[in-house]
Every structure is written in C-alpha cells, then in structure tokens.
C-alpha cells in the first residue's frame, strides 16, 4: 500500500463521516427550529383566530340582544297578542306598525339584512315584502331545534326576485304578561357578505380556514383544505368561546413554514461547506505524519505472515501510534508463546484421551461381572440375587450412562430407575417400608432432568423412614395441573424435620462415605430454577415425628 493511497482513503473516509455527521446535525437542527417555529406559528394563528372569533361573537351577541329587545317591545307584544281579536282594518294597521318597528330595529345594525316574526297566524317582515312561500316549510327552518343560529341559506324576495345568502338567528318569544304563552319566533337574518368581511384573514401561512357549528358542519370556509383535515396534525382552533357552539378552525401550510425557514437553511448550508473545506485542508497537511508508523506496521504484518515472529517495529511518536507499535510487538510475542503452548497442549490432550478410553473399561467390566452373577444365580435357582443384580445393572446403566451424555429423560424412565433403586433398598431394609405409586399416565411423557427424583426418594428412605421405628410408607405421585405444569410429590411418614433442618437440607450438598459426592436436595432445587426459571422450584413441608412432603413444580414438555 503506497503513501498516496492511504492519504486519499483516509481523507475520503473522514470526509464521508464528517459529511454524514454534519448532515445529521443539519437535519436535527432544521427539525428543531421547524418545530419551534411551528409552535410559535400555531400560537400566532390561534391568537388571530381568537381575535376573529371575538368579532363574530360580538355580531352573534348583538343579534341575540336585538331579538330580546324586539321580544320585550310592548307595542309589538300588544299587536301580536290582539291579532286574532281585531277587525281587518285594525289587523293590517297593526301589521304596518310591526313592520315599522322591525325596520327601526334593523337600522340600528347595518350588518343585519332582515327580521321576521312568525306567529301561528301571520308572518311579519321588516321590509314589508312577503316571500312566495311559507318560511316554515324551508329546510333551514325545519332543521332548527329551539333557539340558535342556522347555517348559510338563501331567502327569496318575491318583489325584487333576488335570492340573498344569510345566516339566521331564531329565538322563541313569549307573552310578557303570562310569561308562559308562546307567541312565536323572532328570526334575524345576517347578511352573509358581512359575515365574510369579518372572517377575512389574509395570511399566507394558512392553506384554509372555516367556521363550523356545534355539530361540526361548516358554516363558511375559505382556501384549500386537505382530505383528512381533522387528523392531519396541522389544525388549529380558537380558544375564545363563541355563542351556540360556533368554532373557528384553520389549517397550517407546511410550505409556508418552510418558506420562513429559508434563511436558516442558507446559514447551515454555508457553515456546512466551510467546515468541509477546512477539514480537507487540515487532513492533507497532517496526513504525512500518520503514514510512517502505518508503513512500519504493514511491513511488520508481512514479516509475521511469513513466519518471522522475531520481527519488531520501532515507532517513537509518543502518541497512540507508539502504543500501537508496542501492542504489535506484544502481540507477536504472545502469538509465538501461544504456538509453543498449543504444541504442548496437543501432546497433553492425546495422553488424556488415552486415559479416558482406559477409564471406560471399568464400568463395562462391572456390567459384565454383574451379568455373570445373574447367570450363576439363575442356574442355582436364587431368584433374590438375580432380581437384586438385574435392578442394580439397570440402575447403573441409566444413572452412569458412560456411552453418551444424557441430560434429560422421560418421567417414565426416571420412575423405572426409582423403582429399581427401591428394589435394592427393600433387600437392605426388609419389611421397613411400603411404596405407593400414584403416577398419572399423562405425565409419563414429560421431559425431566436425569437423576431427578431418585435423590428425593433416597433422602426419604435414609433420613425419614429408617430412623423411625416401625414400618414406614413412601408415596410417589405425579399429576398434570390445569395451568399446564406437572406436580411431582415424594411423601413419607417418617421422622420429619425441624425448620432449621429443612433450611440446612436446601442449602447443603452432603457427601457420602469415602469422599464420593452424591446429588443432594439443594442440587435438585438449583437445577429446577436454572433449567426452568424462578417461577418453578421445590417446596418442603415437614413435621417432627409426622413425616415430610416434598413438592416439585415443572412445566410439561414432552420428550422428543
């Protein structure tokens, strides 16, 4: 590898990494400023919506106040309450008086287009002109329930033949004398153009905005709205409460926000290019200082690759390269020592393999000898010796298992080993104990660790039944629980244990005579929790002179 090649590669790699870092920083910074600006814009737009909502709410309040003033006008109340009790001349005279009154009230508010009073018998108009159809049949009137505002609709003047778009407010009014008799409805029509004028929000940040009633129906809208405006994440609404549940909403334009960020993008772009230029100049200047130590290390690697483990580099830069050179020399020495050690290890391993093969002769010799004893006992007709030897052979084969490692067996095979073990002990302790088996058939296929129950049975015989006079009872049972776990129980009516003895039994691995180690109770508990986890384990219940009960819980896993 030549000097120029290393220089260019390092420069390119460093520039790529730097480019990636600066790009990531630029993106994160842009996102940060974008979110900050977006929050500020949302606050500003909400403030603008609140200001507009105040104007609209004032118009609504004035319409409602006008309706209340009209409803409390004594002359209007008198004419309407007496309209059924007067003659035709008085009736038409009263209508004209009501019309004049409504026109006077209408002149107070320039944004109001017209006013209607609807009773059971008549319809009064502020302009004195009737429509060509009954207002009560119009869809906008029929859709209203009680007092409130309508959406945008059209009213038609028969004389002028003009349709005008309005938003109406309806209020039911009552006889002021009785307080309970409904006289009819007062309807004030607001000119839609006046509403548009007050809703004007000339803002380039907004894609669109709209006015909705309390059911979410749009009364008025402006601009371009997305298909899923409510879930777009760009919707802002006013905080100021408006009468009748009206709501002002706006949809923010992401492109408008990005446009405001253009100066931030330009700043980061210039900073990014300047950093790359400075970095390239610095790398080119100091790259030569780095190359000499690297070349020494490359040459040393070639020598070691060719088998020369006596080659050492000499780097005196008093920096990381010098430490790297020292580490290289140490590594070469370690490799040389490792090769020498490996050669010696191979020799030792061969000797150990020979010893292992020799050790396998002893168990096979024991099996052959025991089989000879069984054969001679059968010839002599001594069935007890034959049964005892066969049980010992079966137990020895399954527990020692010198031919292969066998960590797990079925519960059925484990129970076979336990039965063989108890046959041996029954010859040793004649008529000292009776065994009761209650092993459910569905649990026999469960996979359990090898030599799993036998230590519990051994403990029950030696430390539970034998120390107590009389004949003892040993019960071994298993069952499949509803939660899918298998519960195995070993129970005896022997000497029992105190709490301290149980604690010692669970935390001690005892030794048998001759220094040979056997599998203790604590070993069984540790194996369960190691294999199956902390949710499974073993519990011991015991009372002195009453007996001991050991319960094991493991998950049901069938043997493959």
Q: Which neighbouring-strand residues pair with 491? A: 475, 549
Measured CA angle at 506 (ends 489, 392), to 5 deg: 60
pLDDT at 98 over 50: yes
Tell me how long the chain is. 560
Residue 422 makes CB contacts below 8 A (sequence gap 6+) with 435, 457, 461, 474
Instruction: Please report the pLDDT score of residue 539 as a whole number.
Output: 92
DSSP assignment string, 306-328: TT-TT-------SSHHHHHHHHH
* Per-residue pLDDT tens over the stretch 303-332: 777 877 777 888 877 777 778 878 888 888
- Residues of the chain with pLDDT > 90, as a percent, come to 12
The segment with the largest mean pLDDT, out of 85-94, 227-236, 450-459, 465-474, is: 465-474
* 8 Å CB contact between 475 and 422: no
Instruction: Please report the pLDDT score of residue 109 as a whole number.
Output: 72
Q: How far is CA 200 from CA 51, 136, 153, 204, 211, in A?
A: 11, 32, 20, 12, 11
The segment with the largest mean pLDDT, out of 147-151, 460-464, 488-492, is: 488-492
* Per-residue pLDDT tens over the stretch 256-310: 777 766 776 777 778 778 877 887 777 777 776 666 777 777 777 887 778 777 7
Cα-to-chain-centroid distance, residue 429: 62
User: Helix axis angle, 320-359 relative to 262-305, nearest 10°?
Assistant: 60
Measured CA angle at 21 (ends 19, 27), to 5 deg: 100
pLDDT at 101 over 80: yes
Residue range 17-260 forms a domain whose CATH class is alpha beta
Instruction: Please report the pLDDT score of residue 550 as a whole number.
Output: 94
pLDDT at 383 over 80: no
What is the b/e burial string over 205-229, where b = at least 16 CB atoms within 10 angstroms of the residue's CB?
bbbbbbbbbeeeeebbebeebeeee
Mean residue pLDDT across the chain: 78
User: Helix axis angle, 383-400 relative to 411-428, nearest 10°?
Assistant: 140
Please report where in the chains the tokens 């429509």 appear, as a residue.
131
Q: Which CATH code for domain 407-555?
A: 3.30.565.10
- Prediction pTM value: 0.44
* Per-residue pLDDT tens over the stretch 529-555: 878 888 898 999 999 999 999 999 999
The band of 370, judged by pLDDT with boundaries at 50, 70 and 90, is low
pLDDT at 378 over 70: no
Instruction: Please report the pLDDT score of residue 360 as a whole number.
Output: 44
Instruction: Please report the pLDDT score of residue 477 as a whole number.
Output: 96
CA–CA distance, 451 with 540 (Å, rounded to integer): 19
DSSP assignment string, 397-423: HHHH-TTS---EEEHHHHHHHHHHHHH
Q: Which neighbouring-strand residues pair with 170? A: 148, 187
Cα-to-chain-centroid distance, residue 471: 61
CA–CA distance, 74 with 82 (Å, rounded to integer): 12
* 8 Å CB contact between 76 and 96: no
Instruction: Please report the pLDDT score of residue 356 as a whole number.
Output: 43
* Per-residue pLDDT tens over the stretch 7-36: 666 777 777 887 777 778 777 877 777 777
Instruction: Please report the pLDDT score of residue 15 as a whole number.
Output: 74
Burial of 270 (C-beta count, 10 Å sphere; 0-12/13-18/19+): exposed
């Amino acid at each position: 590898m030549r000097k120029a090649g290393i220089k260019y590669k390092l420069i390119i790699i460093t520039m790529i990494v730097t480019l990636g870092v600066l790009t990531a920083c630029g993106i994160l910074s842009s996102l940060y400023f974008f979110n900050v600006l977006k929050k500020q814009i949302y606050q500003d737009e909400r403030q603008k919506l609140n200001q507009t909502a105040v104007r609209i709410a004032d118009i609504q309040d004035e319409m409602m106040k006008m309706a209340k003033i009209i409803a409390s006008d004594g002359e209007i109340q008198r004419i309407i309450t007496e309209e059924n009790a007067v003659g035709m001349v008085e009736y038409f005279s009263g209508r004209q008086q009501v019309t004049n009154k409504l026109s006077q009230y209408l002149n107070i508010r320039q944004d109001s287009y017209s006013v209607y009073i609807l009773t059971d018998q008549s319809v009064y108009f502020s302009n004195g002109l009737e429509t060509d159809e009954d207002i009560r049949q119009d869809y906008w009137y029929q859709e209203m329930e009680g007092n409130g505002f309508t959406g945008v609709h059209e009213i038609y003047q028969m004389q002028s033949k003009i349709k005008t778009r309005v938003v109406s407010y309806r209020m039911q009014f009552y006889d002021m004398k009785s307080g309970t008799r409904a006289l009819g409805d007062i309807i004030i029509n607001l000119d839609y153009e006046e509403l548009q004028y007050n809703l004007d929000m000339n803002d380039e940040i907004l894609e669109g905005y709209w006015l909705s009633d309390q059911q979410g129906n749009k009364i008025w809208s402006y601009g371009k709205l997305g298909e899923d405006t409510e879930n777009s994440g760009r919707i802002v609404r006013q905080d100021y409460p408006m009468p009748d549940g009206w709501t002002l909403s706006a949809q923010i334009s992401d492109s408008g926000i990005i446009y405001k960020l253009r100066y931030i993008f330009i700043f980061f772009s210039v900073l990014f290019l300047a950093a790359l230029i400075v970095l390239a100049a610095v790398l080119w200047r100091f790259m030569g200082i780095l190359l000499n130590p690297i070349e020494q290390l490359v040459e040393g690697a070639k020598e070691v690759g060719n088998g020369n483990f006596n080659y050492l580099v000499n780097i005196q830069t008093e920096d990381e390269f010098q430490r790297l050179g020292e580490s290289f020399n140490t590594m070469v020495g370690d490799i040389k020592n490792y090769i020498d050690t490996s050669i010696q290890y191979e020799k030792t391993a061969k000797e150990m393999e020979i010893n292992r093969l020799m050790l396998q002769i002893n168990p096979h010799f024991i099996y052959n000898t025991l089989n000879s004893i069984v054969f001679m006992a059968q010839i002599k007709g001594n069935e007890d010796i034959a049964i005892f030897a066969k049980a010992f052979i079966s137990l020895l084969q399954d527990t020692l298992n010198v031919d292969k490692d066998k960590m797990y067996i079925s519960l059925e095979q484990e129970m076979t080993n336990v039965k063989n073990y108890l046959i041996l002990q029954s010859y040793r302790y004649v008529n000292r104990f009776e065994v009761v088996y209650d092993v459910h058939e569905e649990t026999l296929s469960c996979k359990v660790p090898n030599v799993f129950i036998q230590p519990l049975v051994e403990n029950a015989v030696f430390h539970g039944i034998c120390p107590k006079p009389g004949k003892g009872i040993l019960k071994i049972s298993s069952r499949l629980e509803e939660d899918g776990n298998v519960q195995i129980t070993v129970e005896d009516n022997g000497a029992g244990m105190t709490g301290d003895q149980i604690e010692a039994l669970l935390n001690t691995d005892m030794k048998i005579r001759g220094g040979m180690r056997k599998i203790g109770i604590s070993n069984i508990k540790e194996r369960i929790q190691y294999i199956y986890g902390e949710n499974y384990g073993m519990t011991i219940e015991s009372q002195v002179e009453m007996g001991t009960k050991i319960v094991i819980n493991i998950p049901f896993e069938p043997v493959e």
